[in-house]
């Protein structure tokens, strides 16, 4: 039982600390061997044609702001095609977009609501750009982000690029602060992955892919999880460019984050457990396989490791050392429980609550998947994400 206890401890510690250290060491070794590790690429004046596809569902509150933001992006106007892909919106989204027809904005309306990935697939079929760029209706881009994102494709090895998503309300409340803190750590890992080889996931707010490398993903899944490993399987790079920035709001209540994460985790569980090729070293290479297992698979199995750790800790309390560890163990969960029952925003209680909630939503996502509760879209309950 002691072996099981310490195995769980080591795996949890590796997920949050060990993997970060592994990336640091690997990057250091690579930088000694590869002089080109930080080379930047640029098309200079010969930019490719770009199709910027913006997914939207009932976004009347933000779509006009998004259009204006997009029209102000720095990129040759004669080489930029803007498509608003409306997933059968039932509010005033389509009406508002049509007002901008004279600016060259193209409105594509799905005849049936089938979810974000499906409407992106449909919009790609009418797109004419060499580079396909994607964004969400609520994500506002820094003016130079598009040109920075696209410049990466001057490197013929690159198939996919994800930009940096920043939360504009990270200090407005404890929920957005906690989510932003976690996101900042995750981006740190992606930055190292990108510098070493390829990232394990993107984000829906700002990313791009070569037209020739685009894959029509099953509507049940997302580009965020699919495209990075698909590019690696093709022998291409999937990289992260922190200079290409999009701004968005994080969920401002724990309930918002809870609902969003359960939906996201359930679909990701389904994909990971039905497609082991993304972890297969014979398909993606040994290094990238380590990335995927460490950053994705192990992270999703953390709630099971925590349950296993707690049970094994209880079974070892006959020894004083393990009894004292159990006291600390229980204290952490008590702090989370106090945070949940009182609603306090004190970090002493809220951060344990956020961590426990994160593990709980991952577990619920798994349960939702195995009970057949997944679908390609959901009823929109918040305005912070599609």
| Residue whose tokens read 């460490």 | 294
Range 53-85 burial, b when 16+ CB lie within 10 A, else e: bbbbbbbbebbbebbebbeebebeeeebbbbbb
Residue 158 is classified by DSSP as E
Distance CA 93, CA 57 (A): 8
386 residues of the chain, pLDDT tens digit each: 899 999 999 999 999 999 999 999 999 998 887 655 455 778 877 899 999 999 999 999 999 999 999 999 999 999 999 999 999 999 999 999 999 999 999 999 998 999 999 999 999 999 999 999 999 999 999 999 999 999 999 999 999 999 999 988 765 566 677 778 888 999 999 999 999 999 999 999 999 999 999 999 999 899 999 999 999 999 999 999 999 999 998 765 667 777 778 888 898 998 999 888 999 999 999 999 999 999 999 999 999 999 999 999 999 999 999 999 999 999 999 999 998 898 777 888 988 998 999 999 999 999 999 888 766 565 543 444 44
CATH (residue range 50-251): 3.90.550.10
Residues ≥6 apart with Cβ < 8 Å to 235: none
- How high is the pLDDT of residue 263? 84
259 burial level (CB within 10 Å; 0-12, 13-18, 19+):
middle
Residue in 188, 139, 145, 182 with CA at minimum distance from that of residue 163: 145
Structure token pair of residue 178: 């906690």
Q: How many CA atoms does the CB half-sphere of 56 hold within 13 Å? A: 33
- How high is the pLDDT of residue 374? 67
The sign of the dihedral angle between the CA atoms of 95, 96, 99, 103 is: negative
CA angle 113, 118, 81 (to 5 degrees): 105
Q: Assess contact for 100 and 126: CB atoms under 8 A.
A: no
Residue in 267, 208, 179, 228 with CA at minimum distance from that of residue 73: 208
Distance CA 169, CA 182 (A): 14
- How high is the pLDDT of residue 382? 42
Distance CA 209, CA 202 (A): 11
Distance CA 190, CA 185 (A): 9
Q: State the pTM of this model.
A: 0.90
Range 210-219 burial, b when 16+ CB lie within 10 A, else e: bbebbeebeb
């Amino acid at each position: 039982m002691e072996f099981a206890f310490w195995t769980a401890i080591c795996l949890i510690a590796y997920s949050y600390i060990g993997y970060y250290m592994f990336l640091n060491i690997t990057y250091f070794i690579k930088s000694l061997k590869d002089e080109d590790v930080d080379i930047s690429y640029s098309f200079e004046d010969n930019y490719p044609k770009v199709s910027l596809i913006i997914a939207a569902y009932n976004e009347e509150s933000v779509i006009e702001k998004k259009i204006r933001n997009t029209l102000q992006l720095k990129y040759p106007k004669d080489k930029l095609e803007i498509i608003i892909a409306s997933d059968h919106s039932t509010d005033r989204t389509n009406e508002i977009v049509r007002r901008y027809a004279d600016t060259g904005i193209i409105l594509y309306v799905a005849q049936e609501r089938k979810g974000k990935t499906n409407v992106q697939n449909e919009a790609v079929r009418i797109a004419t750009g060499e580079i396909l760029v994607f964004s969400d209706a609520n994500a506002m881009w820094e003016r130079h982000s598009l040109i920075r994102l696209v410049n990466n494709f001057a490197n013929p090895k690159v198939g996919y690029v994800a930009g940096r998503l920043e939360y504009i309300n990270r200090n407005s409340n404890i929920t957005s602060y906690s989510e932003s803190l976690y996101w900042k750590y995750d981006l740190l890992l992606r930055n190292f992955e990108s510098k070493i080889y390829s990232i394990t996931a993107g984000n829906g707010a700002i990313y791009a892919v070569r037209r020739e490398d685009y894959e029509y993903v099953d509507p049940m899944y997302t580009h965020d999880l699919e495209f990075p490993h698909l590019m690696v399987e093709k022998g291409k790079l999937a990289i992260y460019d922190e200079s290409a920035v999009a701004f968005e709001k994080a969920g401002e209540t724990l309930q918002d984050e809870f609902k969003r994460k359960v939906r996201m985790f359930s679909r990701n569980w389904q994909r990971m457990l039905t497609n082991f090729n993304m972890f297969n070293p014979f398909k993606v290479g040994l290094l990238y396989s380590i990335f995927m297992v460490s950053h994705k698979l192990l992270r999703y199995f953390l709630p099971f490791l925590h349950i296993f750790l707690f049970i094994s800790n209880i079974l070892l309390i006959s020894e004083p050392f393990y009894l004292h560890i159990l006291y600390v163990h229980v204290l952490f969960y008590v702090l989370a429980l106090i945070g949940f029952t009182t609603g306090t925003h004190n970090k002493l209680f809220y951060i344990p609550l956020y961590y426990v909630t994160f593990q709980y939503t991952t577990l619920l996502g798994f349960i939702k998947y195995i009970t057949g509760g997944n679908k390609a879209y959901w009823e929109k309950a918040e305005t912070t994400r599609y």
